[in-house]
Amino acid sequence: MPNETGTTIITDSGDTAATVRRLETAAQADDRRTFLELVEAADWAAQAPDDLLRAIQLALSLNLIWPARELAEQGMRLFPGHEPLRRAARVFEPRTVRITRGGTPLKGIKASHNWLRDHAHEYRGQWIAVNQGQLLGAARTLDELRPVIDRADDPRSTIVTKVL
């Protein structure tokens, strides 16, 4: 039976690869409604873990954050040993902050916060490292930025963040 956009949702074919193909077709057409209906109708327990991972990637490509998060949580329940799904699920975990007592205070932390407030927007989508109010470097990935962080005079006082 066709949905409101005229697309027929077929889910009971037994061809698990067909589910991913249909999701890819809906994503390419930017058809969020059909995509969400397909996600809801899919039997993810019958799918391969990589199919679920692909569904998460497609949901994110459509900017469907909550469905991607739900798929990641479902992936962890169904395939707890699948490392790529574990990494995907960690992306959606709430951020945590570790507070340590004692030790030496971080040098220039206020200056670094001020720099971030005033300049971080210039580096949207990149990883940056700031130490004592000075930009140490910016890169597309944390791995690319790591050598810059390692060369810092006081790496412990360096703020590293991804600018969203």
Q: 159 is written with which tokens?
A: 């703020």
- pTM for the whole structure: 0.54
| pLDDT higher than threshold 90 for residue 3 | no
Alpha helices in the chain (DSSP H): 16-28, 32-41, 49-61, 65-78, 83-91, 109-119, 142-150
Residue 2: predicted pLDDT: 45
Closest CA to 112 of 74, 80, 154, 71: 154
Express each pLDDT in 23-40 by its tens digit: 999 999 999 999 999 999
Residue ranges of domains in the chain: 16-91, 109-162
d(C-alpha 138, C-alpha 124), whole Å: 10
Percentage of the chain with pLDDT > 90? 57
Express each pLDDT in 43-61 by its tens digit: 999 999 999 999 999 999 9
